[in-house]
């Protein structure tokens, strides 16, 4: 079964890279004209960001009374990111990486699922803080348009919806099952006319609800202890913003602090609120336009977008694929 799953993921990854080859080729050619001192510093910041993510997971695992090494959680975090891109399922695929690994290592699946779900919520919460600053910058510069307001509203609804689900699950497993069952049927009803099949399996939704509710109940009385993981998630967003600043420096593009904050906010917003997996094609189209509105010349806006995309998307995807392969061998 595991071999079949690996072959399926490999096929999906191969298909994803083939479909995105044009973008990847542009990204690689962009770095030929960069100052590699700043690009290497940006790569170091990306590495630090990945380690901070793993440390956040480690804190959440400890809150769930589970012990796991930082090295192993780093591999899991990278592999989950890889799975979420090549097989997009709204984050459920990434959570499954943690639950399957927990089962293999004799840890409670429900607690691993809850830790991964809390990570997603805290990560979105940290981004909402940065997004608020970005929206403020755009508003003060009179650059806030209807599309950005709409995407920000969708992001706020996603964050709130996830928070509500976690709240329900921490108090009643059966109620979470009913809610996820209804959501699954709603999503399938909406998408069935377009894909002519059910996008989500209701049985899997019920199983997932049972698993995660068990884990959420562990943290029900100690949610104040989530402050440290939240601060770590906020630090991760700071490192991603730093990568964008170093990208500007690497290509000699003038910038201000407000431009970097607003640019990162829009980049990550388009990454999440996108009809394509991880915003492929959408980010490359919309982010240069957003940077131009922040007074960055068009050619430089395109270069910065492609380079930043390479550092924060393609590099982690490559590392995630390697991590997934290493986990399969363990």
Q: Per-residue pLDDT tens for 314-329?
A: 888 888 888 988 887 7
Mean confidence (pLDDT) of the chain: 82
Burial of 67 (0-12, 13-18, 19+ CB in 10 A): exposed
Q: Per-residue pLDDT tens for 206-219?
A: 777 877 887 787 76
User: How far apart, in whole angstroms, are the C-alpha atoms of residue 222 and residue 210?
Assistant: 21
Whether 179 is covered by a domain: the verdict is yes
User: How far apart, in whole angstroms, are the C-alpha atoms of residue 246 and residue 93?
Assistant: 32
- For the cut 60, the answer to whether the pLDDT of residue 294 exceeds it is yes
Whether 23 is covered by a domain: the verdict is no
Averaged pLDDT for residues 275-297 = 80
Total domains, the chain: 1
Whether 25 is covered by a domain: the verdict is no
Residue 16: its pLDDT value, please?
Answer: 43
Whether 240 is covered by a domain: the verdict is yes
- For the cut 90, the answer to whether the pLDDT of residue 241 exceeds it is yes
Whether 299 is covered by a domain: the verdict is yes
Whether 235 is covered by a domain: the verdict is yes
**Where does the pLDDT of residue 20 fall: very low under 50, low under 70, confident under 90, or very high at 90 and above?**
very low
Q: Are 46 and 243 in contact (CB under 8 A)?
A: yes
Q: Which range marks the domain in which residue 38 is found?
A: 2-11+33-329
Residue 3: its pLDDT value, please?
Answer: 46
- For the cut 50, the answer to whether the pLDDT of residue 18 exceeds it is no
Q: For 130-152, give the DSSP string.
A: HHHHHHHHHHHTT---HHHHHHH
- For the cut 50, the answer to whether the pLDDT of residue 57 exceeds it is yes
The tokens describing 278, both together, are 């991880």
The tokens describing 15, both together, are 């298909």
Question: Which residue shows structure tokens 């999440």?
Answer: 272
State the pTM of this model: 0.84
């Amino acid at each position: 079964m595991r071999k079949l799953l690996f072959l399926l993921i490999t096929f999906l990854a191969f298909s994803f890279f083939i479909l995105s080859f044009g973008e990847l080729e542009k990204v690689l050619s962009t770095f030929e004209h960069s100052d590699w001192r700043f690009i290497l510093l940006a790569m170091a910041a990306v590495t630090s960001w990945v380690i901070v993510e793993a440390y956040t997971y480690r804190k959440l695992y400890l809150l769930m009374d589970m012990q796991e090494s930082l090295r192993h959680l780093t591999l899991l975090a990278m592999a989950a990111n890889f799975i979420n891109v090549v097989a997009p399922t709204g984050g459920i695929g990434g959570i499954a990486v943690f639950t399957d690994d927990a089962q293999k290592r004799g840890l409670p699946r429900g607690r691993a699922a809850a830790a991964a779900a809390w990570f997603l919520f805290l990560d979105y919460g940290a981004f909402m803080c940065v997004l608020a600053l970005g929206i403020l910058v755009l508003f003060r510069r009179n650059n806030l348009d209807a599309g950005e307001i709409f995407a920000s509203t969708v992001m706020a609804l996603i964050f709130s919806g996830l928070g509500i689900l976690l709240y329900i699950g921490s108090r009643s497993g059966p109620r979470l099952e009913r809610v996820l069952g209804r959501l699954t049927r709603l999503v399938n009803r909406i998408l069935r006319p377009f894909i002519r099949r059910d996008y989500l399996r209701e049985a899997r939704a019920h199983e997932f609800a049972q698993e995660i509710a068990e884990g959420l109940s562990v943290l029900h009385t100690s949610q104040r202890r989530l402050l440290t993981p939240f601060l770590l998630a906020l630090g991760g967003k700071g490192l991603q913003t730093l990568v964008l600043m170093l990208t500007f420096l690497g290509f000699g593009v003038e910038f201000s602090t407000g431009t970097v904050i607003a640019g990162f906010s829009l980049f990550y917003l388009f990454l999440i609120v996108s009809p394509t997996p991880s915003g492929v094609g959408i980010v490359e189209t919309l982010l240069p336009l957003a940077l131009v509105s922040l007074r960055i010349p068009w050619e430089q806006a395109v270069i910065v977008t492609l380079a930043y995309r390479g550092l924060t998307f393609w590099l982690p995807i490559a590392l995630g694929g390697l991590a997934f392969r290493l986990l399969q061998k363990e």
